[in-house]
Amino acid sequence: MMRSDHQKLKSAIDDNLPIINLSSSPLERSEVARLIVKACEEYGFFKVINHGVPNHIIAKMEEVSFKFFNKPVTEKQQATPFGYGCKNIGFNGDSGEVEYLLFPTKTLSIAQAQTSNPISIDDDPTKFRSVVSSYIEAVRELACKILDLMAEGLWVHDKSAFSKLIRDVESDSVFRLNHYPPVLCSSSKNNNSINGSSSNSCKVGFGVHSDPQILTILRSNDVGGLEISPDHGVWIPVSPDPTTFFINVAAWWCKVYADEAAALAFGFGFDDDNVNVMTNGKFVSVKHRVLSNSAKSRMSVAYFGAPSLNARVTTLPELVTPTKPCLYRPFTWAEYKKTVYSLRLGDSRLEIFRK
């Protein structure tokens, strides 16, 4: 793709990336639900404004995140429960210019971990736990609100069909802090970059992947780096917006397009490993990655909403018809998670569940 084509595509994305206003009145709720479903069908990636997460909770989360990552490595390595990681991503050889901290979102898990080996911020061992717990509670509610609106937009009888999976007290949801320190980029050209010159010559912070959980609620500071791939080999920067949350439709919702032409008719490419299970082929997804910045640190905070390990994942009956049979066999989240974490970041994951 020529640079002029890159710029046209970037302009189209900038103009058309869905923005959902969650402060709409009750009378407008059905329209908001319709727009969310439309965004999931055509993009699989959108941002929400007027989301209801208090600014002070967001500000405190960013503050303690930077304070944690500014600590000496020896202190960070003691962090629990899942622990601090640097450069190595997962268990299968993936790596990037990132350091991170993982938490299960269950309040009891956070409390137990912080009791055994607390992360102290400003010499206060309770501050980090308190800030993280408040943030998780707020974004979980945001995720549930969006999932309920999805169900309404799909005309699913049980409006809590999706949200109840992450409201479950045994939910396997995960909270992740990602810190991408400044890394110098090379001066080599990259014709696959939408900005025409330097994207691929920068170090990869987090490699190409799609998220395995139900829904991702993502927020970053004002430093860019997130990119999505709407076409094979083309990467488009997503402008950072600290006042909003980006919503990413996770892998198991997503369908495979029959061919590239159909995908491009929507303006976005397809993930060849992603097939919608619960919605039976209605939603789409794009691959994404994060590149390092040469001048400033990027901080992102992600909530990955997931069901309990023994939750049975299957297509909702309202979305199966004689002409649209169920594509995949039922499976538990534990089965799917085992498959996901046995593979590399960008590998196909759902083929073994095909009927």
Higher per-residue confidence, 75 vs 345: 75
Catalytic residue, from 219, 289, 298, 349: name it.
Answer: 298
Please say whether the beta carbons of 278 and 37 come within 8 A. Answer: no
Q: Residue 354: inside a domain, yes or no?
A: no
Mean pLDDT of the residues in the chain: 76
Torsion sign, CA atoms 118, 124, 127, 128: negative
Q: Identify the top-confidence range among 24-28, 116-120, 206-210, 257-261.
A: 24-28
Q: Residue 114: inside a domain, yes or no?
A: yes
Domain that holds residue 111: 3-345
Q: Residue 151: inside a domain, yes or no?
A: yes
Higher per-residue confidence, 309 vs 190: 309
Span between the terminal Cα atoms of the chain, in Å: 37
pLDDT band at 324 (very low <50, low <70, confident <90, very high): confident
Q: Residue 284: inside a domain, yes or no?
A: yes
Task: Tell me what pLDDT residue 92 has.
Answer: 47
- Chain centroid to CA 80: 22
22-55 per-residue burial string, b: 16 or more CB within 10 A, e: under 16: beeeeeeeeebbebbbebbbbbbbbbbeebebee
What secondary structure does DSSP assign to 199-215, as a single string?
GGGSPEEEEEE---SSE
Could you give the CA distance from residue 21 to residue 10 in angstroms, rounded to a whole number?
A: 23
Percent share of the chain, pLDDT over 70: 68
**Tens digit of each residue's pLDDT (9 = 90 or more) over 226-243:** 888 766 667 788 889 999
Residue with tokens 């994060």: 290
Find the helix packing angle between 55-69 and 127-153, rounded to 10°: 130
Distances (CA, A) of 144 to 30, 60, 81, 315: 16, 22, 25, 19
Is 196 a residue whose pLDDT tops 90?
Answer: no
Task: Tell me what pLDDT residue 340 has.
Answer: 72
pLDDT band at 6 (very low <50, low <70, confident <90, very high): low
Q: Residue 352: inside a domain, yes or no?
A: no
Please say whether the beta carbons of 314 and 277 come within 8 A. Answer: yes
Q: Residue 211: inside a domain, yes or no?
A: yes
Q: What's the pTM value of the predicted model, to 2 decimals?
A: 0.82
Domain total of the chain: 1
Q: Residue 320: inside a domain, yes or no?
A: yes
Is 344 an active-site residue?
Answer: no
Q: Residue 233: inside a domain, yes or no?
A: yes
Assign residue 52 the CATH number of its domain.
Answer: 2.60.120.330
Is 209 a residue whose pLDDT tops 80?
Answer: no
Could you give the CA distance from residue 248 to residue 217 in angstroms, rounded to a whole number?
A: 7
